[in-house]
A and B are shown apart, each in its own frame.
Chain A
Amino acid sequence: MAISINHISTYLPKKILTNEDLSLQFNVSSEQIFKNTGIKKRYLSAPGEISSDMAVKAAETLFQDYSIDRSDIDFLIFCSEGFDHKGPSTSCLIQHRLGLNKNIACVDLPYGCSGYIYGLGMANAYLTSGMSQKVLFLTADMATTVIHKDDLELKSIFSDIGTATIITKATYNEHFIFGTDGSGYHNLIVDHSASRNPQTIEKLQENNMPLGHMKMQSTEIFVFAVKTVPKLVQDILLKHNYTIDDIDLFVFHQASYFMLDVIRRKCKIPKEKFFVNIEQFGNSVSSTIPVALKDAKEQGVLKKGMKVLVAGFGIGYSWGATVIEY
């Protein structure tokens, strides 16, 4: 017994950051920004609009668009790296805001680029064990609020998006692979955001970033991804006894266009089976995979019954993959 992704909804903030906007701010052409990232636009959360607000909006859209009875939900997962408070869990607040039942389990999942795979894995465990019948899995992040105003590289990549996924039991039997290497933690980190290296008055005066400061060593992250993801793909195929030919669609975390293309070529995945939509959405951290699944469905690329290999990788370092039957 395993999981079925029934429906996905997304929330896209109104404000959009284009390459032309970045070009005006930094002394770089919009063409060069596109060439480096493969991205044309990113979404920016409004001032005061935080991750849980985007997640709640995505969930309300999901309930409305697919006529979902919220009283059926018995397990809520909220994946983010931008929570409302240190305590209580933001998922508790979301339970109340969405008017979900009180006899349900709620957990926060503090993960980034691999977070969607972790959430699917948790949903699988709860559904398979019988502890849950219907899981609401929300993702949302506000990475753009922890990027320094002068950091073109990060500004040109990240995007704020919320998503909501309904997951129930299925007969298809999928497996998961997860991996972790915390030695790379410092290569992608939101510094000055919690107990280690907490905020100081001097830091706040210097850069006015109360929620923390994201720092990325892009070469290190690239080396990590290009080394780790092809092996992850190979291992998850092997675990299912599949080859590349058995998979209908590959949907990976949308990190950067160049990185995805290098990984695709290394894995020898045909271009037509490899879904990339970073151009229109940017890198929305844990939301990229559900955004891509929904987009692929709307474009007619993803159809019912297809076998989809999903893989997430990044901050941690952390990675994971599974093959879902859509």
Chain B
Amino acid sequence: MISAEEFTNQLVTEFEDVEPNTVFPDTNYREIKNWSSMYALIIIAFIDANFDVQLSADDLKNTQTVRDLYAIVCEKMK
């Protein structure tokens, strides 16, 4: 599994309007610039496509930071 930093970098490239080096593993992803419900769908699609892990809406509700997402992916890939 890639590192949390690499996970964050890859995720950020999915968000068209977000500058690289503005989001870090401990960033609260809901505070990313221009955050909208669309970003939640992008996160779900990114994780599904790259890690074959299906997040639920509850998984998103229970996470705050990008590192939290990373932890769920690592846990579900076990």
Interface residues, chain A, CB within 8 Å of chain B?
35-36, 153, 217-220, 222-223, 226-227, 258-259, 262, 265-266
Among B16, B38, B45, the residue within 8 A (CB) of A226 is B45
Q: List 5 A-B contacts (CB under 8 A).
A: A35-B38, A219-B37, A223-B57, A227-B54, A262-B41
Residues of B in contact with A, size category? 10 to 19
A219 near B38 (CB under 8 angstroms)? no
B49 near A223 (CB under 8 angstroms)? no
Q: Is B32 an interface residue (CB 8 A)?
A: no
Question: Which residue from chain A places its CB closest to the CB of B61 in the assembled complex?
Answer: A219
Task: List residues of chain A with CB within 8 A of the CB of B49.
Answer: 262, 265-266
B37 near A218 (CB under 8 angstroms)? yes
Q: What is the CB-to-nearest-CB distance from B77 to chain A, in angstroms, rounded to a whole number?
A: 17
Question: Which residue from chain B places its CB closest to the CB of A256 in the assembled complex?
Answer: B41
B38 near A223 (CB under 8 angstroms)? no
Question: Which residue from chain B places its CB closest to the CB of A220 in the assembled complex?
Answer: B57
> What does DSSP make chain A's interface, helix, strand, loop or mixed?
helix
Interface residues, chain B, CB within 8 Å of chain A?
16, 36-38, 40-42, 44-45, 48-49, 54-57, 60
B38 near A262 (CB under 8 angstroms)? no
Task: List residues of chain A with CB within 8 A of the CB of B16.
Answer: 35
Q: What is the CB-to-nearest-CB distance from A212 to chain B, in angstroms, rounded to a whole number?
A: 23
Q: What is the CB-to-nearest-CB distance from B30 to chain A, in angstroms, rounded to a whole number?
A: 13
Q: What is the CB-to-nearest-CB distance from B67 to chain A, in angstroms, rounded to a whole number?
A: 20
Also in contact, A36 and B45, with CB within 8 A (given A219-B57, A223-B54, A223-B56): no
State in angstroms the CA–CA spacing of A66 and B7 once bound together: 56
State in angstroms the CA–CA spacing of A262 and B14 once bound together: 12
Task: List residues of chain B with CB within 8 A of the CB of A153.
Answer: 37
State in angstroms the CA–CA spacing of A217 and B58 once bound together: 12
B48 near A217 (CB under 8 angstroms)? no
